[in-house]
């Protein structure tokens, strides 16, 4: 898939709580064609201001091609994400996109999507793409508290949505792997994105039940295009592999569990 370097305009930044922000961006007509993007892919965002040199990788959270609109869910963790979530509406943002591979969805009829923290971002795009094909996915979202499980209304319109929270405020008390749906539900594919420890636990359960599972890794990245090797993951049978170009989505069986 061709990569583009484009200047988007920030339409709005919505404070979702718990340090999470939804950035709505639009591509002005003079920037040309709105690129094709698929669930699982990410963008490299240049941080305006010149204090943060490296672009920051952020998953594509939703795309509305007709409106030339792209959504990013950004968790504020350091300087780069602080700048990105404090921009004025109308600011310009330089994005390199679309990067990375995509979730495999061909022939899948009964998917389970599991997201934790800002790892729910690619799950919204994935849920939307299933819904557009007439498939209502099962969705399981986990967070520390109710406030940490964001964009719930959007997920609920797209799929049968379940929750877990560490605090017990919303859904099942505990982690996503404590939810009965993961133990009892019949699915032909599980997709997961979130903290690595969560993805490994989900992957182990999926593999034990014989359900195919894809994980989306969020390894630290610099270039995002396969040039610096700082994102490598040591995969089963493949050795060191660039997550930015070969991933970020991998079959869970390739991920070393220890
Ligand atoms: C493919 C991919 C998709 C991503 N999608 C999203 C997304 O949709 N939304 C989002 O908010 N974030 C996402 N991230 C993580 C995001 O890129 C980092 O949080 C961001 O680069 C941090 O930049 P910073 O300058 O704010 O923080 P820094 O100053 O660089 O770091 C601050 C703290 O965050 C930690 N950190 C930095 N990068 C990561 C990371 N990749 N994973 C875990 N901890 C990290 C650092 O170790 C440090 O403790 C994604 C990462 C990858 C690789
Ligand atoms: S981030 Fe540079 S090679 Fe992957």
pLDDT band at 251 (very low <50, low <70, confident <90, very high): very high
Stretch 215-232: mean pLDDT: 96
Q: For ligand 1, pick from 78, 122, 226 the residue to mutate: most ligand atoms within 8 Å of CB.
A: 78
Rounded to the nearest angstrom, the distance between the alpha carbon of 230 and the centre of ligand 2 is 5
Rounded to the nearest angstrom, the distance between the alpha carbon of 218 and the centre of ligand 2 is 12
pLDDT at 185: 86
124 lines ligand 2 (CB under 6 A): no
pLDDT in tens, 141-188: 999 999 999 999 999 999 999 999 999 999 999 999 999 999 988 999
Contact assessment for residue 80 and residue 47, using Cβ atoms and an 8 Å cutoff: yes
pLDDT band at 197 (very low <50, low <70, confident <90, very high): very high
Neighbours of 26 (CB within 10 A): 17
Specify the ligand 1 atom closest to the Cα of 217.
1
User: Does 258 score more than 80 pLDDT?
Assistant: no
pLDDT band at 194 (very low <50, low <70, confident <90, very high): very high
Among all ligands shown, which has an atom nearest to the Cα of 45?
1
The neighbouring-strand residues paired with 164 are 142, 172
What lies within 8 Å, CB to CB, of 59 at 6+ separation is: 41, 42, 72, 73, 118, 121, 122, 125, 193, 216
CA-nearest residue, atom 44 of ligand 1: 220
Residue 213 annotated as binding? no
pLDDT at 105: 97
Ligand 1, CB within 6 Å, residue ranges:
42, 52, 56-59, 73-75, 77-81, 118, 121, 218-221, 248
Reference 126, options 151, 95, 104; nearest CA is: 104
pLDDT at 171: 98
Among all ligands shown, which has an atom nearest to the Cα of 224?
2
> What is the model's pTM?
0.97
- Domain layout of the chain by residue ranges: 4-99, 111-254
**Separation between Cα atoms, residue 239 and residue 223, nearest integer Å:** 20
Stretch 11-27: mean pLDDT: 98
pLDDT band at 220 (very low <50, low <70, confident <90, very high): very high
pLDDT at 1: 80
pLDDT at 156: 98
Question: Does the domain made of 111-254 have the CATH classification 3.40.50.410?
Answer: no
pLDDT in tens, 104-131: 999 999 999 999 999 999 999 999 999 9
Which class would CATH give 4-99? Answer: mainly beta
Residue 57 annotated as binding? yes
> Which residue do the tokens 């795309």 mark?
63
**Separation between Cα atoms, residue 89 and residue 75, nearest integer Å:** 18
Q: Print the SS3 string covering the chain.
A: CCCEEEEEEEEEEEEEECCEEEEEEECCHHHCCCCCCCCCCEEEECCCCCCCCCCEEEECCEEEHHHCEEEEEEECCCHHHHHHCCCCCCCEEEEEEEECCCCCCCCCCCEEEEEEHHHHHHHHHHHHHHHHCCCCCEEEEEECCHHHCCCHHHHHHHCEEEEEECCCCCCEECCHHHCHHHHHCCCCEEEEECCHHHHHHHHHHHHHCCCCEEEECCCCCCCCCCCCCCCCEEECCCEEECHHHHCCEEEHHHECCC
Rounded to the nearest angstrom, the distance between the alpha carbon of 219 and the centre of ligand 1 is 8
pLDDT in tens, 64-100: 999 999 999 999 999 999 999 999 999 999 999 999 9
Contact assessment for residue 137 and residue 76, using Cβ atoms and an 8 Å cutoff: no
96 lines ligand 2 (CB under 6 A): no
Respond yes or no on whether the N-terminal peptide bond of residue 125 is cis (omega within 30° of 0). Answer: no
pLDDT in tens, 40-62: 999 999 999 988 999 999 999 99
């Amino acid at each position: 898939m061709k990569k583009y370097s484009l200047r988007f305009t920030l339409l709005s930044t919505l404070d979702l709580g718990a340090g999470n922000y939804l950035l709505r961006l639009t591509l002005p007509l003079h920037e040309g064609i709105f690129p094709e993007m698929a669930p699982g892919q990410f963008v490299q965002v240049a941080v305006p201001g010149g204090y943060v040199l490296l672009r920051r990788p952020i998953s594509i959270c939703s795309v509305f091609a007709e409106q030339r609109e792209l959504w990013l869910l950004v968790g504020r963790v350091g300087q780069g994400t602080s700048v990105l979530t404090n921009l004025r509406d109308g600011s310009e943002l330089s994005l390199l996109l679309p990067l990375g591979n995509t979730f495999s969805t061909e022939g899948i009829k009964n998917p389970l999507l599991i997201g934790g923290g800002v790892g729910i971002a690619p799950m919204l795009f994935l849920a939307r793409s299933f819904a557009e094909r007439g498939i209502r996915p099962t969705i399981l979202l986990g967070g520390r508290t109710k406030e940490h499980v964001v964009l719930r209304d959007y997920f609920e319109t797209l799929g049968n949505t379940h929750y877990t929270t560490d605090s017990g405020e919303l859904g099942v008390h505990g982690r996503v792997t404590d939810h009965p749906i993961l133990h009892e539900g019949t699915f032909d594919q599980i997709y997961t994105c979130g903290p690595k420890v969560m993805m490994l636990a989900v992957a182990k359960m999926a593999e034990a039940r014989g359900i195919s599972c894809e994980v989306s890794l969020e390894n630290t990245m610099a270039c995002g295009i396969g040039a610096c090797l700082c994102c490598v993951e040591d995969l089963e049978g493949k050795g060191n592999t660039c997550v930015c170009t070969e991933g970020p989505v991998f079959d869970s069986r390739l991920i070393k569990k220890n």
